[in-house]
Structure 1
Amino acid sequence: MGWTTPSGIVRKASKVAARLWRDRQGVGAVEFALIAPLLLMIYITVFELTIGLSVSKRVARASGAIADLVTQQPSVSKSSLAEMMNVAQSIFVPYGASDISLDITGIKVGSSSSTVAWSWNEAGDKPYGTGSLIDIPTQMKVPDSFIVHAELSIPHRLLMFMPGLLPSEVRDITIRRDYYFRSRSGKEITCADC
């Protein structure tokens, strides 16, 4: 009647297992299914890093260009400093930069200390009080010189990398760069209405 003994069941199971072990059809599909999520995650991470590095380079380029442009002028005004926002936004094309934060500060370097001559930010405020002491890099401390300090920052959001798994503190970062340039003429750059 087809009753099978326990040794017959073991023999049939071992034959089925041996046949499955020898059968290599579908191994590539299984390997791909195991590796594909990892490859996709690596691809997305590299994409995110590329975008982030590109934005970082544009932040550095914009802050350097702004400091360079200001140091070429004998004097500036709030309106001319406000035009520097257009310079920054043009450097950020095609990424768009509506949330740029820009501080520009003129610094008088004395023999013993550095003080703020004037300062301006994109909101029209003074980020540093006139006459206040300010720390500058050691190599820039040349007595009787004038320095322009441009600080630019922009928020950046990681687009796709595990959006549901990462908290917003990790996804939302601020990329910030600052540059110090000496006055091209060697004289103080004035700002009458700052």
Structure 2
Amino acid sequence: MIRKYASFTGTLRRFARDRRGVGAIEFAILFPVLLLLYLGAFQLTVGLNVSKRASRSAGSIADIVSQQTSVSKSILATMPSVAGAIFAPYVTTSLTLKITGIAVDASGKATVAWSWAQDGTTPYASGTVVTVPSNMNQASTFLVRSELAIPYQLMNFGTNFLPNGTSQITIGRQFYYRQRAGTSITCSDC
């Protein structure tokens, strides 16, 4: 009986000293955490890249329009392709774009002069009073506002991984530019 007990305790001591397989067990415990960190960093990087491109697109569009003295729907209809070129290689099929000309009168009151949306409609009625940033609200000036929004689909790692309604976010940007030449920018058919 003592011999069996000594043999059993010797086996237990050898098992306790044996370190083979410890690395595999540690890796199995840490792998899911490391995978989530990697995928989260990837998701964050792509999302920030899309956000940066949204800012660059909205700013570029407002800058291009502000350099004109007159525009038309046909000119404004080319602006989504400008955004598409900046967003490449990302898909821009659900991108929405609104461009608005804003006249600020001598008293500092800002009103919509003309407005155009990507679907060809007029999103804001002419003469509507709008609020502009205080640093842009200078008397007797003309502003171009571009509003760009694009939905961004988050990666979903499982059916119940994200709360309902959070698998897609909308990244939107709004830019104001002052006209470059003349006192206003007209739109003949907006």
TM-score category (smaller protein): over 0.9
1:72 to 67, 80, 92: 67
Q: Unaligned 5+ residue runs, structure 1? A: none
Aligned to 2:166: 170
Q: Please tell me the residue identity of whatever aligns with 1:140.
A: M
Q: Are 1:106 and 1:189, in contact at CA under 8 Å, matched by a contact in 2?
A: yes
In structure 2, the CA distance between the partners of 1:13 and 1:117, relative to structure 1 (3 Å rule), is farther
Question: How far off is 1:56 after superposition?
Answer: 0.7
Please tell me whether Structure 1 or Structure 2 has the larger radius of gyration of its CA atoms. 1
Using the TM superposition, name which of 147-156 and 85-94 deviates more.
85-94
Q: Percent identity?
A: 47
Write the mapping of 1:44-193 to structure 2, written as runs, cut at 5 A: 44-110=39-105, 111-160=107-156, 162-164=157-159, 165-193=161-189
CA distance in 1, matches of 2:135, 2:70: 24
Structure 1 20/108 Cα, relative in aligned 2: closer, same or farther at 3 Å? same
Contact 2:66 2:178 in 1 (8 A): yes
Which amino acid letter does the alignment assign opposite residue 63 of structure 1?
A
Q: Which runs of 5+ in 2 are unaligned?
A: none
Q: Offset at 1:115?
A: 0.4
Question: Displacement of 1:29 after TM fit?
Answer: 0.5
Deviates most, 46-55 or 11-20: 11-20
TM-fit CA distance, 1:20 = 2.1
CA distance in 2 between partners of 1:21 and 1:34 (Å): 20
Equivalenced residues, count: 188
Q: Could you tell me how far 1:167 is from its partner in structure 2?
A: 3.5
User: Higher mean Cα deviation, 148-157 or 12-21?
Assistant: 12-21
3-state SS, counterpart of residue 58 of structure 1: helix
After superposition, what is the alpha-carbon deviation per residue over 1:76-104, rounded to whole angstroms, capped at 9, x for unaligned? Answer: 00110001011111111111211110000
1:13 deviates by 5.6
- Cα deviation, 1:167-187, whole Å, max 9, x if unaligned, reads 452110001011000000151
RMSD (Å) for aligned C-alpha atoms: 1.8
AA in 2 matched with 1:107: I
Aligned partners of 1:72 and 1:185 also within 8 Å: yes
Judge conservation of contact 1:146–1:186 (CA < 8 Å) in 2. Answer: no
Q: Provide the C-alpha distance between the structure 2 equivalents of 1:13 and 1:34, rounded to a whole number of angstroms.
A: 30
